[in-house]
Amino acid sequence: MNRKVKLLDIAQALGVSTGTVHRALHNHHGVSPMTKARVLQMAKTLRYRPNLAARYLSSKRNLRISVNTLQGTTSFWDEVRAGIGEEARALVMENVEIEYRTYPRLGEGEEEAFEAALKAEVDGIITFPSRPQGLHSWMRRASRNSIPVVCVATDAPHTGRLAVVSIDTLASGSLAADLMGSLLRGNGKVAVTLSALAITEHAEKCKAFESTLRSLYPQMHVEEPIEDHDVESEAYQKCRELFSKHPDLSGVYVTTEASIPVLNAARDAQMLDRMTVITTDLFPALVPEIRSRAVAATIYQRPRTQGRMAFRVLHEFVMEGECPSYQVTLAPHLVMRGNLDFFLQRQSQESGTERSVRLQSTSSELTEYFG
């Protein structure tokens, strides 16, 4: 293995200066197309790769990235933001500023937040595209201005986004189906609730659930999915209707965070104790329901890890000019009463800022890492 090739090598090979090489490589203005092409070519044949330490050391500029997410109405987005912050601290030392822009409800103010980020000329955006249609033109504009955008939790297709980080919907839905089927021993009628079929993520989970159930437990039956449009009362009402129409229903899979109204509906219909409920995410109100076995299991979407990955991907792209992966899909965790404490403990553990410092240096909490 020869010595690493550096800017000077390619400069000398071409009889130009390192400055020129640098400008060519970063397509800065003021390089003749001719020399630029030659530099690019030579860089490739020499297999040049930049020394990141040197770049970081000499670079004055500091990254500004905007994190556009839902306000902390639920713990999910708080965790995502925490993950982003942790990874930022772990990966780089200073030179990264994170600007949080939050919006109060799904689709409410997210376009404004995105626009604000663009106006502020940030170097990158991490966003939860709750209404991809509305965001579409903004994201395309970002793409045109070559501002990288990473989606978390949900994808926004055809927007030129750099990457998505999300839980694998297929694995989620299929796991829920298999678990449901085996808990019910392959018999019975079950239902699925989701926010809206128009949301890719939910539709995919639902489809995976149905198809897995159909293929692995052919005797079981899945009712038409319930759309709650993220409105609690709607979820409650529609479930009540469902339950009265199907008093023999034996299971429900809630693909969204909105499991509480479903549980309440089942409880009020006095059907809860003979039903197997599988939910999504993990938040305080769900804990007692899991403990009491009202919820058989919940599919934990690892928000902290999603945040970490989103930052990591974005950072790697901005700093190194390359995206490690355009689609990061995580395996969901299954939480049941048995291992519930394990997850709760982690959540609380990382809220604190306990640190173990040996010498002097930065610190990063790795305990829940990859949780």
Partner DNA sequence: TTGAAAGCGATACCAG
Partner DNA sequence: CTGGTATCGCTTTCAA
In whole angstroms, the minimum distance from the beta carbon of 201 to DNA comes to 37
Contact status: 219 vs a copy of itself (CB under 8 A): no
Task: Kindly indicate which of the ranges 66-74, 221-229, 254-262, 338-346 contains the residues binding a copy of itself, using the contact rule CB under 8 A.
Answer: 338-346
Contact status: 218 vs DNA (CB under 7 A): no
Contact status: 144 vs a copy of itself (CB under 8 A): no
Q: Which 154-213 positions form the footprint of a copy of itself (CB under 8 A)?
A: 168, 170-171, 174-179, 181-183, 212
Site mask for DNA (CB under 7 A), range 18-37, x = bound: xxx-xx-xx--xxxx-xxx-
Nearer of residues 20 and 174 to DNA, judged by Cβ:
20
Task: Kindly indicate which of the ranges 114-122, 225-233, 279-287, 309-317 contains the residues binding a copy of itself, using the contact rule CB under 8 A.
Answer: 309-317
Nearer of residues 93 and 285 to DNA, judged by Cβ:
93
Task: Kindly indicate which of the ranges 74-82, 121-129, 139-147, 305-313 contains the residues binding a copy of itself, using the contact rule CB under 8 A.
Answer: 305-313
- Say how far apart CA 3 and CA 254 lie, in whole Å: 57
Task: Kindly indicate which of the ranges 73-81, 230-238, 240-248, 327-335 contains the residues binding a copy of itself, using the contact rule CB under 8 A.
Answer: 327-335
Contact status: 52 vs a copy of itself (CB under 8 A): yes
Q: Which 4-23 positions form the footprint of a copy of itself (CB under 8 A)?
A: 4
Contact status: 64 vs DNA (CB under 7 A): no
Q: Are 328 and 175 in contact (CB under 8 A)?
A: no
Query: What single DSSP character describes residue 327?
Result: E
- Say how far apart CA 27 and CA 25 lie, in whole Å: 6
Nearer of residues 248 and 322 to a copy of itself, judged by Cβ:
322
Q: Are 125 and 114 in contact (CB under 8 A)?
A: yes
- Say how far apart CA 88 and CA 364 lie, in whole Å: 10
Q: Are strands 333-335 and 297-300 parallel, antiparallel or unpaired?
A: antiparallel
Residue 149 pairs in a beta bridge with 125
- Which of a copy of itself, DNA, none binds 321 (CB below 5-8 Å, type-dependent)? a copy of itself
- Tokens at 349, concatenated: 């553990």
Three-state secondary structure call for residue 146: coil
**Please, which residues have CB within 8 angstroms of residue 270's CB and are 6 or more apart in sequence?**
none
Query: What single DSSP character describes residue 30?
Result: S
Q: Are 317 and 94 in contact (CB under 8 A)?
A: no
Phi, psi of 254 (to 5 degrees): -100, 110
Please say whether the dihedral angle defined by the alpha carbons of residues 19, 24, 29 and 33, taken in this order, is positive or negative. Answer: positive
Site residues (CB under 7 A) for DNA?
3-4, 6-8, 15-20, 22-23, 25-26, 29-32, 34-36, 48, 50-51, 54-55, 57-61
